[in-house]
Amino acid sequence: MGWESLLPAEFQRLRSSPNAHQRGQQLEELLERLFQQAHFRVHRNAGIARPRQTDLVASYGDRWYLIEAKWENTPAGVDVFDAVRSRLERAASAAVIGVIVSVSGFTATVREQVTQYRGREPVLLLGEEELMQVLQAPETLAHLLWTKWETLVTHGRVHLPVGNRHRRRRRPSTDLSASDLTLLSTELTPLPYVTSGGGYAELVFVQDLPDVDWVPADGSGVSLDLPIRALDENGLADLLHAFNSLGWMTSRPSWSIQQATLNWHGVGAREFLNALRAWRERCEGLQHAHHTEQVTYFDVCQGGGFYTLAADIANHASRMVSHCNVSFQLPGIPVDSQPLRHLFEQFDAIATGYYRPLTARAVIRRRAENNVPLKPTGYLVAADPFSGDPPEDASRRDESPECPHTPSKWVTAIVAENPFRKDSNVSAPRDWPHSLEDTELIVCSLRSHHPLSKIPDAYHLDSWEHARTTDIRAFRPVADW
């Protein structure tokens, strides 16, 4: 059994100690082990602020933390804060950050003083609730301290937990870009998404599948996973906004929401968030709805590669997420990894990220041996970039738009009945995903685009390609006419 399991039990044992002085000393020892388990370099009774005594000094990378531990019967007051500030003034380096760990909490005056002196001698506050969290998961300590420092310096606020940490504020979907593709029925009626019979396929249909092996240099691409925990539906929205702020969101991400007997497929980040939040409307009338929905999301990265998001979300009012993982496939290890680091720090996963080389071809491609006919049930339409027409405003798609038969609209993909569904008379070819046997509809990119005003007489399956990430398969069937 490792220290990760023993630390919370040790903390609970200290609660029963009647000697406050002895309890304080034992808390210092517990914090020393905690920081060591979190991969900090730790020094007890260091002379960084000599002649004043310092409980602990810990370093992580190029950051140094001067740590004061308190377990009194009352909240830590201004005298504790002033003592830490005095030590920071005596420290030889200006890069030292103060940390006060107080099991009994902090007075309101201390919080005010922390914000007042945030620019000169920054001091971070760590209370009992957060201490228990990092004792249970020491690998999250570095991220927690970084978040506290960023909140203090950037926003002038003390970062302390308030209420239920799993519940996040609801961010509007309009802050995300709408898709530049329009989803239409065969009657050319705009649709928010495609509804299809199906099950948990762990798959997403994509319009573009970058091949990370398609580079001039030798070697193989790499994968990188970002496991995220303690999210709800609003936390998934935060994740989408993080992708957007880091420049990792295009106007054509693909997504799927899957129930036990029904699937919803669509394009666009804003459209995805709207569909996710409309779970009651989507599941209305659905018999035997499962207690969990699976969501899959795909987008390409600037500079090559792509990422997928897979999550399991409760199909009830809590909308709690029991599993969430973001998986990247990249041409190699980026020279500038700071954007990825920002994402990992923001979502408490800085200690869990590893690049792993791909040991097989990233993208598998197959040609259809026979011209399997496809019956369309919908179209994905894009504006002609050379027509001079302004992009369509997704917020007005429910109004009466101009006639969609204009030559400046082009069909780039079709929604079609799955020709290899298990109840059909056609056997699935080699390398066709077995998980699609229950899926009623598939979304196929068009090898040759055509104007919306000139719908061809027939479509057929031309080829398909797919890539596997840790959790899901990105699948791109291609049709022609």
CATH number of the domain that residue 40 is part of = 3.40.1350.10
Q: What is the 3-class SS of 47-92, one letter each residue?
A: CCCCCCCCCEEEEECCEEEEEEEECCCCCECHHHHHHHHHHHHHCC
Q: How many domains does the chain have?
A: 3
Residue 57 lies in a domain: yes
Predicted local confidence at residue 7, as pLDDT = 82
Q: What is the 3-class SS of 316-341, one letter each residue?
A: CCCCEEEEEEEEEEECCCCCCCHHHH
Residues 448, 299: one domain?
no
Decide if 121 contacts 97 (C-beta within 8 A).
no
Residue 447 lies in a domain: yes
SS3 112: helix
Residues 228, 338: one domain?
yes
Residues 420, 352: one domain?
no
d(CA 196, CA 232) in angstroms, rounded, equals: 25
Residues 349, 388: one domain?
no
Predicted local confidence at residue 425, as pLDDT = 80
Task: Find all residues with CB under 8 Å of 360, minimum gap 6, and list them.
Answer: none
Tell me the C-alpha to C-alpha distance, in Å, between residue 131 and each of 40, 71, 137, 246, 331: 16, 12, 10, 30, 39
Residues 344, 434: one domain?
no
Residue 194 lies in a domain: no
Give the DSSP letter string of 126-147: E-HHHHHHHHH-GGGHHHHHHH
Q: Residue 110 — φ and ψ, nearest 5°?
A: -60, -45
Residues of the chain with pLDDT under 50: 1-5, 49, 51, 163-167, 393-406
**Burial of 351 (C-beta count, 10 Å sphere; 0-12/13-18/19+):** middle
pTM reported for the whole predicted model: 0.70
Predicted local confidence at residue 89, as pLDDT = 83
Residues 205, 113: one domain?
no
Residue 160 lies in a domain: no
Predicted local confidence at residue 46, as pLDDT = 61
Residues 338, 415: one domain?
no
d(CA 223, CA 215) in angstroms, rounded, equals: 16
Predicted local confidence at residue 381, as pLDDT = 96
Residue 426 lies in a domain: yes
d(CA 4, CA 38) in angstroms, rounded, equals: 10
How is residue 208 written in tokens? 């573009």
Decide if 304 contacts 209 (C-beta within 8 A).
no
Residue 186 lies in a domain: no
Task: Find all residues with CB under 8 Å of 309, minimum gap 6, and list them.
Answer: 239, 295, 296, 297, 298, 324, 325, 326
> What digits encode the pLDDT tens for the residues 67-119?
999 888 889 999 999 999 888 887 756 678 999 999 988 998 998 899 888 87
Residues 203, 333: one domain?
yes
Residues 226, 345: one domain?
yes
d(CA 369, CA 464) in angstroms, rounded, equals: 11
Residues 327, 374: one domain?
no
Residue 234 lies in a domain: yes
Residues 446, 406: one domain?
yes
Domain with 392, as residue range(s), is: 366-480
Q: For residue 344, which of 242, 444, 230, 237 has the smallest C-alpha distance?
A: 242
Strands (E), 118-235: 123-126, 181-185, 194-197, 203-205, 222-228, 231-232
Among 329, 362, 395, identify where a domain stops.
Answer: 362
Predicted local confidence at residue 93, as pLDDT = 62
Among 345, 362, 379, identify where a domain stops.
Answer: 362
Predicted local confidence at residue 204, as pLDDT = 96
Among 330, 362, 394, identify where a domain stops.
Answer: 362
Residues 248, 294: one domain?
yes
Residue 302 lies in a domain: yes
